[in-house]
Amino acid sequence: MQGVSRNFFTLAIIYALCGMALGLHMSISGNHLQTPVHAHTMAAGWLMSAVFAYFYHLFPAAAAGMLARIHFWLTAVSGIGLLVGLFFLLAGNPAIEPLVAASSMAFYAGMFLFAYIALTALWRAA
């Protein structure tokens, strides 16, 4: 695994470790207030980043383009902003909501970019 594929898989592992640590913390403390953050970390972070890594590994031509690098950075930065912002929002800090909203929209834009990259690669390969 190299390039964008390796970057996404590294990010996936970091998300998995953070999500699992948060899950363990909630279980041990008995405070499950951050369950949405845990779920987003595991699904949007670990799972989606691993899927992106696998796709780019299978389609190295798609991974070699500038759009793939933009996809990685857009997804990485917005995903971290979303999860950190959501953590603080759920902890009772409503002032952070604009960060959560902007990060959510940017993460969604990253998914649209991935859809374009993936569908173009899939239909070109057919």
> What per-residue confidence (pLDDT) applies to 1?
85
What average pLDDT does the segment 3-20 reach? 97
Weakest-pLDDT range from 7-16, 39-48, 60-69, 117-126: 117-126
Count of domains observed in the chain: 1
The closest of 113, 123, 114, 104 to 53, measured between CA atoms, is 114
Q: Model confidence over 44-96: pLDDT tens digits?
A: 999 999 999 999 999 999 999 999 999 999 999 999 999 999 999 999 999 99
All residues at 6 or more sequence positions from 99 whose CB lies less than 8 Å from its CB, including other chains: 81, 84, 85
Does residue 97 register a pLDDT over 90?
yes
Q: Which domain holds residue 112?
A: 3-125
Would you state the pLDDT for residue 85? Answer: 97
